[in-house]
Amino acid sequence: MSSNSFGKKLVMTTFGESHGEMIGAILDGVPSGLKIDRELISYRLSLRKGGRNSFVTPRNEDDEIEIISGLKDEIATGAPLAFIIKNKNIKKRDYQDLVGKFRPGHAHYTYLKKYGLFEESGGGRASARETAMRVACGAVAEMILREVGIQSISFVSKIKDVVIDSCDDFFKTLFCEPTLITDKSLFIPDEEKNARAENILDGLIKQGDSLGGRITFCAQFLPVGLGDPVYEKISANLAKAMMSIPAVRGFELGNGEDLSEIHGSQFNDEMTLDGFSSNHSAGILGGITNGELLYGHVHFKPTSSIRKKQKTLNAEGKEVELEMKKGRHDPCVAIRGSVVVKAMLDLTLADALLINMSTRLDDLKKKYERII
Amino acid sequence: MSSNSFGKKLVMTTFGESHGEMIGAILDGVPSGLKIDRELISYRLSLRKGGRNSFVTPRNEDDEIEIISGLKDEIATGAPLAFIIKNKNIKKRDYQDLVGKFRPGHAHYTYLKKYGLFEESGGGRASARETAMRVACGAVAEMILREVGIQSISFVSKIKDVVIDSCDDFFKTLFCEPTLITDKSLFIPDEEKNARAENILDGLIKQGDSLGGRITFCAQFLPVGLGDPVYEKISANLAKAMMSIPAVRGFELGNGEDLSEIHGSQFNDEMTLDGFSSNHSAGILGGITNGELLYGHVHFKPTSSIRKKQKTLNAEGKEVELEMKKGRHDPCVAIRGSVVVKAMLDLTLADALLINMSTRLDDLKKKYERII
Amino acid sequence: MSSNSFGKKLVMTTFGESHGEMIGAILDGVPSGLKIDRELISYRLSLRKGGRNSFVTPRNEDDEIEIISGLKDEIATGAPLAFIIKNKNIKKRDYQDLVGKFRPGHAHYTYLKKYGLFEESGGGRASARETAMRVACGAVAEMILREVGIQSISFVSKIKDVVIDSCDDFFKTLFCEPTLITDKSLFIPDEEKNARAENILDGLIKQGDSLGGRITFCAQFLPVGLGDPVYEKISANLAKAMMSIPAVRGFELGNGEDLSEIHGSQFNDEMTLDGFSSNHSAGILGGITNGELLYGHVHFKPTSSIRKKQKTLNAEGKEVELEMKKGRHDPCVAIRGSVVVKAMLDLTLADALLINMSTRLDDLKKKYERII
Amino acid sequence: MSSNSFGKKLVMTTFGESHGEMIGAILDGVPSGLKIDRELISYRLSLRKGGRNSFVTPRNEDDEIEIISGLKDEIATGAPLAFIIKNKNIKKRDYQDLVGKFRPGHAHYTYLKKYGLFEESGGGRASARETAMRVACGAVAEMILREVGIQSISFVSKIKDVVIDSCDDFFKTLFCEPTLITDKSLFIPDEEKNARAENILDGLIKQGDSLGGRITFCAQFLPVGLGDPVYEKISANLAKAMMSIPAVRGFELGNGEDLSEIHGSQFNDEMTLDGFSSNHSAGILGGITNGELLYGHVHFKPTSSIRKKQKTLNAEGKEVELEMKKGRHDPCVAIRGSVVVKAMLDLTLADALLINMSTRLDDLKKKYERII
């Protein structure tokens, strides 16, 4: 019941505050024998990092990861992996305007009421800084999935009227060439649309405002049979995973059509000798993977920290004005958030993979042969 | 890691198949001293029942609940409550057309591949029949919430172009008069709109087709401080709870606006001496309740079981046609689903309430006084 | 965190009071495809039953088990198995002497203080009646273990000066012929010693007193590698399993020598080409099975319910005398307890077997082949 | 299901190998507002440390603890506490004799078979070094207990024929003056007996051999009502906690008498107006604390690492001799183990305390008042 842990068999536990000495994570349950690919971890972290361009927070952390346990010659031993990243680029001064004032839309208020005290500088645990550890652990999950051929992607699919529709063929293109996503400033896998969204954000930054956004995620080559009835549907676990990301307010499987307007005869995927003739189910039937592309959307609200002047209360209950002149925030958290979405997707899938090992008596017996 | 259990401190575990002898549940963690209100359980079950009118499945089960443990003179003793409902209205014959054929959009395919065998009659565990037990346990959760003044509602808010918008004032009207919801055939709390939706469904039933739908839920008088950072946000647990309901494909906090089009300066809820000046946060900041109305939407796909002819495969891998002439299905599962949404909401809130008892040292000490 | 659940992947949850309508259990996580052997369940229950002879409680329940979910043609489907046994032989009258008086050594006092109310008749949840469900679920665990060749036994090994020493050869004899245990009235696998212990108990019964006892358990043909470091050592889980049985006060691995008197050079098991040259480790090194016989002891205190007159308080805090003239209790709970010890052993081993399926990347890949 | 985590609401997760860069732990669930007493942590660590005298391992680690998250001005914020200790005194060379040889009685064999690889130097995760983190977290648990007045002690109570009997009055003396334990070289709270045991160990060290030992633990001022039926008895959780300590092979509640020789009429604790007239129940009835002294024993086997020559196999399966000339091991792990026993006792009690906050509806309502 640790509230800072995620997963059942592949268990990530994170610690550390935004402006503390370091942040870290323990990843327990990594199968022994897995080769740890440090470059993949660093690469994923680099995508999440601030300071990459003018559309993300200028807080530019090295995010140099140290792995301090669980390895022998870069191979996982079955012991818990522990990661730390030292916080270097801390500017406590920038937060001085905020001290003692509740930031509208921010967790400061609820944390203070719940715990009786709050580390305001940098947002403490309520900061998105924590998600760096999700990305590091997600990269290890990705290595596990890679061993059995599973792949995943995520990208920004909607900012205002800039929209990328879900489509199986387009997903497949992206799986072949994921740099179509990652070489874009905003992770919108379309040159022209990315440019249009850049314009929108440029205007927004000038106004000191922020914007929400929609992320699309997709995984391919999943086996049939991941996920469990009734309360451990893989779709339910995915929803929880995504909703645990700061600023996420919505989750949907499939391509985002309005389900209240669709008929069963349109939505059902008929089966033929060539397989399913459509994929409205988005890869999940009854909470269990059916082997098709698994895809859906994650909705981020606009960043709560904006430069515009806002009315609020201070901790003494007096009305005050808040103007965050400095602080370093993302105009649209969904952009970096898309990297975290992939991490949570990979962690959820790898966990399901490790859990689903003894569903059938056949498997139990086959496995037992090795064990003796 | 039981996949048939829900909750951490208030733990519901369900069992039983749609066409088995009985279905049942164990509810563990009910605080001792709680008066069990059997009428409330029966009432909630009656709302979920089939056969209530022509818009829900004609399978009309008595749903007579038996409580077989955990009570002394109708007071919870702290021991697990166990419930059973005997299945009476089983018509295995009606499912004979289906035998050996995969129903499009149904879990039959994934269950068979995962487990190697499947009880086709009635859908086994993959049937919505299981949700009767959620409703029974949800009613007990409701009793716990009632003791501390928390209330909740849920209703059908969208079927095709029939829409009920989210609005704090309207929610408050419904809290005062919940029969505005429950006396409607489709749980649409508006006479005229309910009638319009009836027309839509009437047409649909004639065509042998089905439809999806949107449910709105809301809770009031929540304390500040329910839910835990980071992975146990109450919003994340709510999302998982809802996504575990059969046919649910999407979850969103708040009033359903497109977040990718909204500015932070519009979305942030400013604070004044009169409290929050708006409630875009829908009662949750950083995954923790802020004391405002908690509300959101749950999206149901159209019922997969339709009478229209569909192409599919049989278990031997041959192409066949499927026509479900009999079987008893809902034209729109969202209607009865709305009752399950409230149950899962109440279970999630009551669980959070019981978990959030020792967050502060102060509380620990206060409680300790009683314990000695 | 259900306190009425046991196990992580093979999860047993029990419910029901000693003098309620029925007792029951849900067993979740049984691998699909397992043939359920109802006779084995009935046989194990018959060994635990009262009324078998004059040395156990005269409460003679049929213990007719009903399996109400999870099966298709007697094969486990992967859905939760649910069991119920109706209570028939209830004599509430016999407990009337007790009403309102704390029975010395009994949980009545702590339950009342903890929960504020207590079902005195039959001891409610604190009664050994609950263990019938452990035995039923344990029999299913035994079926799982049987599929991979693992066997276990338990027997009474000490009552006063009647002692059976632990010895690998003797264990092996018992594995070949378990009826050497079960055909004895007291489950002491030695004709003469069993008779001697009968005499001791006969005297005890006349005095209206009770006695403790020691149980020895042993499992063979375990694979190397069950159990997990650090906190999930199989020995730690076994200890918890055994200590959860009513009246158990001690647990030890190995043959019960006084460890504070032994040298490492004596205790260490040397290894030769023929394997380990001794088995002081009792089959466990570092909390993980090493493939040798796993064995140890469980210590039961004397039954708290005796017929002898005792001083106590009543619920109003007045001093009273307690004389249980009727009530039906075991002179030595360890005897029937030995059957429960085997059940908890089998449940713990089967759970470990199901958990230990994805420790190595090799296994994950091998399993994945089937899953796709 | 992290196997490196302990506890349900107060959750400790440890990481790091004996000869890695550092070891560490995350402690989640510490109530906000708790003042962290760094001196207490250091003091408890100093008692567990090697190099304290000639009777413990000469590996003398500073064990300088760093707390890297979860605090604001030395007050717990409700966020996870993270601890690290850098390993300084590593002598990998000393383990060169061992490379590729299975140490008799050591987990090397089972780890290698289970995981396919093993970090031999220092024993990796299977080393007692991990227990430093239990002691650090245990000290935080002790701070929580201290806030509500609960105290605990542990000491060495048996080495060969040197025995300290359990006795309530003696326990109370030790609670008043715990230095009677800690100022002794072997933590035997009796000058003369400690000296006698020193002599025994002196002889043993000369022979290059090791010895087991018995630890007694005791806690006082516990409330009535800690622990839960049926599977979460506090006694069951204590047993698991203790059996998770390296080298522990047995656990018993109470004063260690042979239960198979005792009558119920002797063992039952009668109740009078002055309270329980004896304490055979050792503070626990039905798995729930009754407010009396909670006490029992933990049995350690002799250290497996000895200097004496032993026969064994190497990883290639050849017979070899093993002689550990260097390596730094304890002649009797029970001595330093006694410090770990107290830590695990405190962690188990504090966890139970935090869990037992919403057992009664009354408590829920009282707590709710604060929360709103």
- Residue C13 near residue B26, CB atoms below 8 Å: yes
Closest chain A residue by Cα to residue B214: A260
For residue B328, which of B110, B14, B16, B19 has the smallest C-alpha distance? B19
Res. A372 pLDDT band, cuts 50 70 90: very low
| Mean pLDDT, all residues of chain A | 91
Task: For residue C68, tell me if it sits in a domain.
Answer: no
Task: For residue B227, tell me if it sits in a domain.
Answer: yes
Question: Which residue range is the domain that position B222 belongs to?
Answer: 93-371
CA atoms of D16 and D85, how far apart (whole Å): 10
Any idea what DSSP says for residue A210? -
Res. D92 pLDDT band, cuts 50 70 90: low
In the numeric block, the tokens 């009558």 are attached to D263
The more confidently predicted of residues C88 and B172 is: B172
Judged against a pLDDT cut of 60, whether residue C23 lies above it is answered with yes
Judged against a pLDDT cut of 70, whether residue A151 lies above it is answered with yes
Least CB–CB distance from C368: residue in A148, A371, A372: A148
Contacts of B148 in chain D (CB under 8 A): 364-365, 368
Res. C58 pLDDT band, cuts 50 70 90: confident
Contacts of C114 in chain D (CB under 8 A): 224-225, 288, 356, 359
Residue from D11, D12, D13, D73 whose CB has the most chain A CBs within 10 Å, to mutate: D13
Task: For residue B7, tell me if it sits in a domain.
Answer: no
Cβ contact A79–D13 (<8 Å): no
Res. A80 pLDDT band, cuts 50 70 90: very high
What are the backbone dihedrals phi and psi of residue D330, each rounded to the nearest 5 degrees, phi first? Answer: -85, 135
Judged against a pLDDT cut of 50, whether residue B69 lies above it is answered with yes
The more confidently predicted of residues D88 and B66 is: B66
CA atoms of C123 and D87, how far apart (whole Å): 53
Cβ contact B147–D225 (<8 Å): no
- The whole-number pLDDT of residue D119 equals 74
pLDDT in tens, A314-341: 888 899 998 877 656 788 999 999 999 9
Task: For residue D233, tell me if it sits in a domain.
Answer: yes
CATH classification of the domain holding B213: 3.60.150.10
Q: Where are the beta strands (DSSP E) in chain A?
A: 5-6, 11-15, 22-28, 65-69, 71-72, 75-76, 81-86, 151-159, 162-163, 213-220, 248-253, 271-272, 275-276, 284-285, 288-289, 294-300, 310-313, 319-322
pLDDT in tens, D294-322: 999 999 999 988 888 999 998 888 999 98
What are the backbone dihedrals phi and psi of residue A127, each rounded to the nearest 5 degrees, phi first? Answer: -85, 155
Cβ contact D31–B363 (<8 Å): yes
Closest chain B residue by Cα to residue D357: B357
- The whole-number pLDDT of residue A6 equals 98
Cis omega before residue A230 (within 30°)?
yes
Q: Using CB atoms, which chains have 3+ pairs under 8 A with B? A: A, C, D
- The whole-number pLDDT of residue C305 equals 87
Cβ contact D357–B370 (<8 Å): no
- Residue D168 near residue D293, CB atoms below 8 Å: yes
In the numeric block, the tokens 């206060």 are attached to B366
Residue length of chain C? 372
Mean pLDDT of all residues in C268-277: 93
pLDDT in tens, C305-317: 888 899 999 888 8
CA atoms of A217 and A296, how far apart (whole Å): 6
Contacts of D83 in chain A (CB under 8 A): none
Number of folded domains in chain D? Answer: 1
Lowest mean pLDDT among A186-200, A267-281, B172-186, B353-367: B353-367
Structure token digits, residue C172 = 């092996």
pLDDT in tens, C102-129: 889 999 899 999 999 877 766 788 888 9
Task: For residue C40, tell me if it sits in a domain.
Answer: no
Bridge partners, residue B116, by sequence:
none
Cβ contact D80–A4 (<8 Å): yes
CA atoms of B67 and C275, how far apart (whole Å): 56
ipTM over 0.90: yes
| Mean pLDDT, all residues of chain D | 91
pLDDT in tens, B197-254: 999 999 999 999 999 999 999 999 999 999 999 999 999 999 999 999 999 999 999 9
Task: For residue B23, tell me if it sits in a domain.
Answer: no
Structure token digits, residue C233 = 């050592």
Closest chain C residue by Cα to residue B9: C1
Mean pLDDT of all residues in B44-51: 91
pLDDT in tens, A90-127: 766 666 667 788 889 999 899 999 999 877 766 788 88
Judged against a pLDDT cut of 50, whether residue D242 lies above it is answered with yes
Mean pLDDT of all residues in A147-171: 95
**Longest CA–CA separation in chain D, Å:** 70
Q: CB burial class (10 A; 0-12, 13-18, 19+) of residue A51?
A: middle
The C-alpha of C73 sits at a distance from chain D's nearest C-alpha, in angstroms, of 32
Mean pLDDT of all residues in C34-59: 90
Closest chain A residue by Cα to residue B201: A263
Residue length of chain B? 372
Give me the percent of chain D exceeding a pLDDT of 90.
74
Q: How far is CA A230 from the centre of its chain?
A: 24
CA atoms of A151 and D352, how far apart (whole Å): 43
Mean pLDDT of all residues in B334-358: 94
Cβ contact B367–D366 (<8 Å): yes
Structure token digits, residue A149 = 């051929």
Res. A201 pLDDT band, cuts 50 70 90: very high
The C-alpha of A195 sits at a distance from chain B's nearest C-alpha, in angstroms, of 17
Q: Which region holds residue B247: left if phi is over 0, alpha if psi is between -120 and 50, else beta? A: left
Task: For residue C11, tell me if it sits in a domain.
Answer: no
* Beta carbon pairs, A and C, within 8 Å: 106
For residue D212, which of D306, D123, D126 has the smallest C-alpha distance? D306
- The whole-number pLDDT of residue B372 equals 44
Paired sense of beta strands B5-6 and B11-15, if any: antiparallel
Least CB–CB distance from B357: residue in D78, D147, D367: D367
Judged against a pLDDT cut of 70, whether residue D95 lies above it is answered with no
The more confidently predicted of residues C326 and D347 is: D347
Note the helical H segments in B208-319: 234-243, 264-267
Lowest mean pLDDT among B122-126, D44-48, D254-258, D349-353: B122-126
**In what helix (H) or strand (E) does residue A153 lie, and over which residues does it extend?**
strand A151-159
The C-alpha of C124 sits at a distance from chain A's nearest C-alpha, in angstroms, of 29
Lowest mean pLDDT among A17-21, C175-179, C348-352: A17-21
